[in-house]
Every structure is written in structure tokens, then in C-alpha cells.
């Protein structure tokens, strides 16, 4: 068994490297029994206003647990998970790994994340021993969009809203409290390309882990990418309605999350381009798909997520400009 990220107790506060990515500490697992791992409540992250632990953290910790049970000659290529219950940020999460199959070319694991004896998240993860493609190589081209330099980050936009008197005091205080918490990852929204219909349900972001990831283990970058893949996956459905801030749902939760890893040749603390597109929204559910490229244009990752979106009032669709 390999340990791509050190487990065990968190280091003392005065020994932490201020430039180290806080996300690296947030995804730690401690092995407490054979194929049983614990995520300490001290490191769990619940966004303000959320029902429970951030889903991306549970996703990446489940992936981490599966990786810890697989020989280093195999690389993860797919992950399929279901959110069953909201995670309680005040309790440890225990991850149980089952070794479903160990083949010559593929290895399969199932992971159950539990609190109070109940499964809050479950996933099936498959690993593949790398093979030559023999020339069979096809990949979607990277969209032509501006680079990350000069674009406003999510936090800068929140700061603008926190200082905007047009927002209520309650909302401005919410933004200030959000900004007071350290960021685990940074996103910069990309202006919509001129050749894309303003009502098309697609969004583009440059995203990277905040801070520096130590070490060169490819697994830590895969795990951190899994975390970032759950950041705002469903908001693209609201583009035809003026954006999610204009039509905020009364409930928005993830139901399932699937990921496909195409390459390990990237760093999660370097800028990555996320293209997120809604392919269907109906029956109070949203299905969105995501592709991720490096700045060099290499497609490294794809994912899909379905979520539940409820609204107390009907939404108004924007009118197309002639």
C-alpha cells in the first residue's frame, strides 16, 4: 500500500507552512484498520449556508481511500459516486474500502463513507494499469478563451458584493463571513466568448488549488482535482435565466458525481480551464458535464453531475437578443 499523502494527526498550527495549500491538509486520512480510514472532524469543511460537509471533500477523500488500497502500478481512471445524506461537519467520517476485484489490467474498489453507522456517500472506483494507445488518440479541443491573468477571482467578486450598498445588510454580511474563511481553491470566471449564445447554459472558469501542493506524487493532484470538480457544477443551468445569483434556488444539492481521469500530467496548483455545460434541466434535476484542460491545451479530465434544484417561484428566462 502506498501513502501518497501523509496520514495521521494534523501538525501543530505553529509548524504549518503558510504557503502550503490548505486543501492538502483538508484531505488527510488516517488508517484506523485494514482498508478503513478516518477523516477528522477538525479538517471537515462546511460552506456557509450549506446543509453539510462540502461534497467535493467527501468525493476526494473517498477517492483517496480507494487509492490507498491499490498497488502503485495502477492509476485511477473512473469514479462513480452517490450522495445519500448530508455529512455532519461536527463528526468524523469513516471510509470503508471493499476490494471488489484485483485483475491483471483493472482493479475495482467500492467505498462507503459513514457517520453514525449510516452511509452518507458511496462510490465505485476503478483503476487501470497503463497501456499504449497504439495511435488511437482522440480528444476535444480546448476552447479559445482568455487566459487567467487579469480576470477577477470569485473572492474579488465577493469583495465587490460585500461592499455594494445595493445588496441587503444580511447578504453583505454573508459575503464578509465567507471571505473571512480561507480559500481552498481559487476560481476566475472567463467572459463568455462572443461566438457563444448568451443564453447557452455553459460557463468557463480557470481554477487552481490555493497555495502550494508539496511533493510530486500524481495522486495528490488527482485528489485535489476531484475536490475542485464539485465547485459550482450546477450553476451553468441558470445562464438562460440571468445567472444563479439572480434566480437563487431554495434548495440545490448534488445527487451523484462521476469522474474520468485522462492524464496524470498536470498540477492542481497550476491554472486549469473548466468548461461546464448543462445538458438537461427538468423535473427539479440538473445534469451538467465538465471538461478540464491544462493551459497547454491537454484534455486531462471529464466529469458529470446530477443535482436537485428546487424553487419557490417560477423562473423567468431571458429573451434572446436579435
Catalytically annotated residues: 230, 254, 305
3-state secondary structure of 230: coil
Instruction: Report how far residue 61's alpha carbon sits from residue 75's, in angstroms, rounded to the nearest whole number.
Output: 16
Rounded to 10 degrees, the C-alpha dihedral 125/130/132/135 comes to 40
Parallel, antiparallel or unpaired: strands 36-39 and 299-310: unpaired
Classify residue 157 by burial, with Cβ atoms within 10 Å: 0-12, 13-18, 19+: middle
Instruction: Report how far residue 23's alpha carbon sits from residue 44's, in angstroms, rounded to the nearest whole number.
Output: 10
Strand partners, 125: 79, 109
- Comparing CA positions, the residue from 81, 85, 130 lying closest to residue 106 is 130
Between vectors from CA 171 to CA 166 and to CA 177, what angle results, nearest 5°? 130
Parallel, antiparallel or unpaired: strands 185-189 and 251-261: unpaired
Angle between helices 169-179 and 154-162 (to 10 degrees): 140
Assess contact for 62 and 80: CB atoms under 8 A. no
Q: Would you give the DSSP letter of residue 155?
A: H
Instruction: Report how far residue 284's alpha carbon sits from residue 270's, in angstroms, rounded to the nearest whole number.
Output: 35
Residue whose entry in the numeric block shows the C-alpha cell 470538480: 229
Sign of CA dihedral 226, 83, 44, 289: positive
Assess contact for 320 and 298: CB atoms under 8 A. no
Amino acid at each position: 500500500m502506498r501513502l501518497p499523502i501523509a496520514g495521521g494527526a494534523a501538525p501543530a498550527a505553529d509548524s504549518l507552512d503558510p504557503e502550503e495549500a490548505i486543501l492538502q491538509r483538508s484531505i488527510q486520512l488516517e488508517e484506523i484498520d485494514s482498508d478503513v480510514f478516518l477523516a477528522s472532524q477538525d479538517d471537515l469543511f462546511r460552506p456557509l449556508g450549506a446543509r453539510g460537509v462540502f461534497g467535493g471533500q467527501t468525493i476526494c477523500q473517498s477517492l483517496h481511500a480507494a487509492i490507498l488500497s491499490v498497488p502503485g502500478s495502477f492509476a485511477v481512471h473512473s469514479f462513480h459516486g452517490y450522495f445519500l445524506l448530508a455529512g455532519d461537519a461536527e463528526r468524523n467520517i469513516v471510509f470503508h474500502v471493499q476490494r471488489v476485484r484485483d485483475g491483471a489490467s483493472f482493479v475495482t474498489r467500492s467505498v462507503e463513507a459513514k457517520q453514525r453507522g449510516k452511509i452518507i456517500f458511496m462510490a465505485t472506483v476503478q483503476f487501470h494499469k497503463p497501456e499504449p494507445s497504439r495511435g488511437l488518440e482522440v480528444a476535444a479541443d480546448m476552447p479559445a478563451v482568455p487566459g487567467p491573468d487579469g480576470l477577477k477571482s470569485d473572492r474579488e467578486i465577493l469583495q465587490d458584493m460585500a461592499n455594494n450598498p445595493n445588496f441587503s445588510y444580511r447578504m453583505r454580511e454573508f459575503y464578509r463571513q465567507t471571505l473571512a474563511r480561507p480559500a481552498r481553491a481559487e476560481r476566475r470566471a472567463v467572459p463568455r466568448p462572443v461566438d457563444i449564445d448568451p443564453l447557452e447554459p455553459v460557463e468557463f472558469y480557470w481554477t487552481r488549488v490555493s497555495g502550494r501542493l508539496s511533493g510530486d506524487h500524481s495522486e495528490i493532484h488527482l485528489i485535489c482535482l476531484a475536490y475542485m470538480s464539485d465547485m459550482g457544477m450546477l450553476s451553468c443551468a441558470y445562464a438562460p435565466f440571468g445567472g444563479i445569483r439572480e434566480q437563487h434556488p431554495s434548495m440545490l444539492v448534488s445527487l451523484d458525481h462521476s469522474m474520468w481521469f485522462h492524464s496524470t500530467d498536470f498540477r492542481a496548483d497550476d491554472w486549469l480551464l473548466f468548461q461546464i455545460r448543462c445538458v438537461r434541466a427538468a423535473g427539479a434535476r440538473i445534469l451538467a458535464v465538465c471538461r478540464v484542460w491544462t493551459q497547454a491545451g491537454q484534455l486531462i479530465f471529464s466529469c458529470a453531475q446530477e443535482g436537485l434544484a428546487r424553487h419557490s417561484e417560477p423562473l423567468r428566462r431571458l429573451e434572446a437578443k436579435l
